[in-house]
Amino acid sequence: MRIYKFEEIQSWQKAKELTIGVYKNFSENKDYGFKDQIQRASVSVMNNIAEGFESQTNKMFIRYLYIAKGSCGEVRSMLYLAKEFNYISDEQFEKLSNLSLDATQLISGFIKKLNEK
């Protein structure tokens, strides 16, 4: 199946869902440095997937996917802190952490597929 737009990419869709969740769950947070960092990291996931796709070369796309994957890890790491600092509930942590893991797995699968070509 050929992908014509980055919006069709499952990992981008999952990353978008993660970003929306992060923004909704941290919109009222008064720790502005923390809030800014986790929001920027979540946006980085979806934007690197989009930017890599638009580069039009598999080599560049794979590079951007690795960056997106790293940002997923950063979000997940910060979620542990958010839970420890009681910025989010256990339920919110589970939901956002699972979205991050899903995005990471989708990105990893995409990298593997692109490397086969």
Mind listing the pLDDT tens digit for each residue in 80-93? 999 999 999 999 99
Which of 61, 57, 81 is CA-nearest to residue 69?
61
Topology (CATH) of 9-21+31-116: de novo design (two linked rop proteins) (1.20.1440)
Q: Structure tokens of 55?
A: 């580069």
Cβ proximity of 69 and 104 under 8 Å: yes
Which stretch of DSSP H or E encloses residue 94? helix 90-116
Which of 28, 14, 32, 29 is CA-nearest to residue 97?
14
Predicted model pTM:
0.94
CA 55, 61, 67, 70 dihedral sign is positive
Q: What are the extents of the domains in the chain?
A: 9-21+31-116
Q: Could you report the average pLDDT of every consecutive run of 10 residues in the chain (117 residues)?
A: 92 98 97 98 98 93 98 98 98 98 97 91
